[in-house]
A and B are shown apart, each in its own frame.
Chain A
Amino acid sequence: MSSLAISLLDLQADSTVCLEAEDYQKRAGKWCAGCGDFGALNAVKRLLAKEQLQPERMVFVSGIGCSSRFPHYVNAYGFHGIHGRALPLATGIKLARPELDVFVVTGDGDCISIGAGHWIHAIRYNTDMVVMMLDNNIYGLTKNQTSPTTPQGYASMTSPHGAQLPALDPLQATLGVSNASFVAQTADWVPAHLYATLQAAYEHPGFSFIRVLQRCPKFTPDIFEQQVKNPDTTELLVHEDGVDPPGLDKLFKARRIHNPKNLDDARSLARRSDMVRLGVFFRDDSLPVYDEVRAVPPVTPREKVNRLNKEFERYAV
């Protein structure tokens, strides 16, 4: 986009108005009562208010599924696309308009299954955006089918005798992709942690992938029951370069200092299934960011015509 347009945008900025979290809610979410997606929406609203982001300078992009309704409820620009394809749309938006803040809201079916190809490559592109993968371990909108993250043995309408295979672990997969730059896990039932993780993801320059463990009261009410009831089953990964939200140390006794720069540790922690771990597994702010790598200086229309006329010389008869 032209620098003129950008400066026009800046002129439009109205810094005297202070926006509250509620100003970022466009309309009430239409999820089931008790759905973890509400928690994600609340955390996002808090972040936007904290950062005082201008509603017209943000785009929320989603695919299809319960979580993908998210953009309809935020006071911002939104693109509710097609199943599995939020990431290519978001990549196009960020490449076109790097000055916009891009958020992607997706789910375990949308991102890890039908959109898996885009997911892997988006991690590698490392385009600057925040990606929240709201993982309820099930297909909700289509009413209770096994997803790639459904635990082995868990019954659904498509696997009435239980899921046949071990679940695909999004953290291990993400951490295995070259140029992955920010990988975190948080949970909808720990709002302080969810908010702090979002904040860190927003500050990270590059593709920030957050897996949000998310309760589905309708189809997987029991999957995270143990973690919700007994905080001792959860370990917090804390570090000054990761997240360490104040006030959580009383609730979660299991705390581990984990330097998010250490990829090997991150991978080995992701592989362990003894506890649920929340925190920033990996973060590297120095990796190539696709929208920066591909930035090209603007050229005026007149200059383009001049250059193309010169180009014709190569083909002149």
Chain B
Amino acid sequence: MAKTKTKITETPEHTVEIITNSGEGAQKCAQIFGQTCAKMGNGVWTVEIIPAEIEPPHHTVTSTSGNIIRFGTDKITNWGDQSKLAIAFNEQVLLSRHRLESLDDNCIILQESMWATHEDELVRKEYEKAMEEMSSRNYRVISVPIEEETLKIVDNPSHGKNMFALGMLAEIYQREVSIIEKQIAHIFRFKSQKVVDLNIELVKSGVAWAREHLDFQFHIPSVPAEEERIVMNGNQACALGAIAAGMEMCAMYPITPATSVSHELAEVIENYGGIVHQAEDEIAAAGVAIGASYSGKVAMTVTSGPGMALKTEFLALAIMVEVPLVVLDVQRGGPSTGLPTKVEQSDLLSSLYGQPGDAPRVVIAPRSIEECFHSMVTARRIAETFRTVVIVLTDANLATGVQQFTRPELDVRWQQGPLDLSPAPEGMRPYEWDPETGMSRRIIPGTPGGQHTVTGLAHDEESLVSYHPSSNELGMRMRSRKLAVFQSTLIPPEVHGDEEGELLVVGWGSTQGAIEEAVDRARAEGRKVSTCQLTFLSPLEPGLKEIFGKFDKVMTVEINYSDTVGDPYITEETRRFGQLAWLLRAHTLVDIDCWTSCPGQPLRPKDIYRNIIAKLEPLQVVETGEAS
């Protein structure tokens, strides 16, 4: 392409996609680019595009692996709407993104040039077909000899194209190459200096190519942070949060997308006197954690939906015998095996009620990556104070999303062990429930004079098996009472926007960023809409009914399934609601509506915005839950 004068466009934010076959290094490229943006003072959010298979056949729409990086002048809280610039290593992976409507209508696409002129006629034909399909859009496609340029430096282009791409991005967005060099040195710290040098050379050749051939650049102003910040994904935040919370035992079984929490922990936890135990199955992982906690360790288990289902009997046991336990559920798409690598918020009701009998427990859902960190500390504290199970619900969006946040100030008290082996007072009973609060002292093995047998059978204050009606009722009441006591320590949720209006959007967990962005967009147009994002789901935060009462309508927005009235057989009577909507309707008796979607992707602000507007103007036709 003939180079004219470079035009620099200033914009408050941009979204970039790197789209490759899996195994071509898109994640590394994006990781370094995202880190560099963060270090230069931009707000960043990155999202992985990962196939469920390790390395599916290359150059097909199903082999797409990649990463989306949204960065801007201000804080970025979600993946946004569509990508403005894409680098594609072949047209098939690009096509998959086109079909998912991930690309902005005017997206600039830097496309590998070799396929158009490939010696194999079939490859050329497939290329033409794909480009024809995409021609309906206003994309600006720029051919780049990515592989050819890479081959000038390395023999195997699969281990180099990503760094050439990174170089192009560095030039387009005026990133400081010195920061990138440091990142490369860090990422390849276990490799030879030669590998580091080659990667830097590749980046520089990408920079040079872009400088010579591209006629555009984007400038995203940055505001350097005043406080110290760290950048990581939600699973890393949970892992470090677990260390900060003093976790000494993480028992787990591999399951996507939760496993990387245990990878992070396994690498470091032994430096903190703890271990990761990979159990033979999900059930055993719960059992080992409960056994460790029963005997005085700080223990957790990490899983995702299918693992939660397997653990239910053990969780009920922990609640019954009042052994503290932190359970991290990184939700994925369900039911059954569902969408293992994708996002969904479908474990809410099963987390609250998924067990035989009545087993009250605490359920919390962090709303950001920063909250992932702190929720682990909070969860431990609640679990030990109330001798119960605390389930932390994150999801694939938080798990793999990368964002920077204020570096946490650690407190040494978070690390203190729960051990108290002072002798049990004469005549002390193992469940000496305070009749007001249901709370009791925890006695662990080793406590002289405290010997007793805990049992999952109905039991009395002495932990003796009891079939007496009043004894069973007392146990139920005491275990439930603890939740109410805990709830009394909570404050009502904050309302984002005015405290009264036409519509209140209620979300939970990871959707906060996207919902608030959508609400702000509607508010900027003068709409009377506000939102509040719940963190505590069991018990619910106080004051909800009062907050809801100040709005004409209340609607939840969730990443799970709900029926649409008007579909065959679906009426107001048969309609099934989103999970938070069920819960809030039952809890408040307010006629709460919902808009939910389960495309296996995080919600986009534009889709939430559209449904907010539709809710405000009921005559307008509503587009529902399709992936976009």
Contacts and interface: CB of A to CB of B under 8 A. Distances in A.
A1 B412 contact: no
Contacts, number: 209
Given A117-B280, A298-B273, A92 B249 contact: yes
Interface string A1-27: 110010011001000000000000010
A216 interface: no
A215 to B, nearest CB: 24
Interface string A66-99: 0000011011111111100101111111111100
Given A12-B448, A317-B231, A308 B294 contact: no
A257 interface: no
Interface residues of A, number: 60
Contacts of A78: 451-455
Interface in A75-134: 75-82, 85, 87-97, 100, 117-118, 120-121
Nearest to B288: A92
Given A96-B249, A121-B284, A76 B296 contact: no
A229 interface: no
Interface stretch (B3-11, B87-95, B239-247, B537-545): B239-247
Contact of A80 (B279, B295, B451, B454): B454
17 contacts: A1-B297, A2-B419, A12-B421, A56-B445, A74-B453, A89-B290, A92-B249, A92-B299, A93-B294, A96-B248, A97-B297, A97-B445, A118-B287, A296-B275, A301-B416, A304-B272, A312-B407
B407 A316 contact: yes
A32 interface: no
A56 B410 CA distance: 35
Nearest to B422: A8
A250 to B, nearest CB: 40
B412 A301 contact: yes
Interface of A: 1-2, 5, 8-9, 12, 26, 54-61, 71-72, 74-82, 85, 87-97, 100, 117-118, 120-121, 294, 296-299, 301-302, 304-305, 307-309, 311-312, 315-317
A300 to B, nearest CB: 8
B378 to A, nearest CB: 17
Nearest to B409: A309
Contacts of A316: 228-230, 407
Interface in B66-114: none
Interface in B420-440: 421, 423
A305 B412 CA distance: 6
B244 A308 contact: yes
A18 B453 CA distance: 23
A26 B416 CA distance: 34
Given A100-B446, A311-B268, A297 B453 contact: no
A112 to B, nearest CB: 16
Given A96-B249, A118-B280, A305 B415 contact: yes
B208 interface: no
A117 B285 CA distance: 12
A121 B288 CA distance: 13
Contact of A88 (B246, B287, B415): B287
Contacts of A91: 277, 284, 287-288, 291
Interface in B257-295: 268, 270-275, 277, 279-281, 283-295
B364 to A, nearest CB: 22
A194 B394 CA distance: 51
Interface of B: 35, 38-39, 225, 228-232, 236, 240, 243-244, 246, 248-249, 251, 268, 270-275, 277, 279-281, 283-297, 299, 313-314, 317, 321, 404, 407-408, 410-413, 415-417, 419, 421, 423, 445-457, 464-465
Given A85-B283, A96-B296, A308-B410, A56 B455 contact: no
Nearest to A315: B230
Nearest to B419: A5
B295 A100 contact: yes
Contact of B296 (A88, A97, A302, A311): A97
Contacts of B416: 301
For the complex of A and B, 4 pairs with smallest distance between CB atoms:
A92-B291, A88-B287, A78-B453, A301-B415
A95 B294 contact: no
Nearest to B35: A317
B290 A317 contact: no
A94 to B, nearest CB: 8
Contact of B292 (A9, A81, A92, A298): A92
Nearest to B280: A121
A297 B313 CA distance: 33
A93 B313 contact: no
A96 B291 contact: yes
B314 A82 contact: yes
A212 B38 CA distance: 64
Given A100-B445, A118-B280, A316-B407, A75 B451 contact: yes
Contacts of A72: 453, 455, 464-465
A121 B417 CA distance: 29
Given A77-B452, A305-B412, A82 B313 contact: yes
B580 to A, nearest CB: 31
B273 A79 contact: no
Contacts of A79: 291, 294, 321, 453-454
A104 to B, nearest CB: 11
Contacts of B281: 117-118
B447 A56 contact: yes
Contacts of B464: 72
A77 B456 contact: no
B268 to A, nearest CB: 6
Given A56-B448, A76-B451, A92-B299, A309 B410 contact: yes
A37 to B, nearest CB: 16
Contacts of A82: 313-314, 317, 456
A317 B453 contact: no
Nearest to B248: A96
Given A92-B294, A294-B275, A80 B453 contact: yes
Given A8-B421, A80-B455, A96-B296, A297 B273 contact: yes
Contacts of B295: 59, 92-93, 96-97, 100
B409 to A, nearest CB: 10
Contacts of A88: 279, 283-288, 291
Contacts of B277: 91-92, 95, 294
Contact of B284 (A118, A311, A317): A118
B527 to A, nearest CB: 35
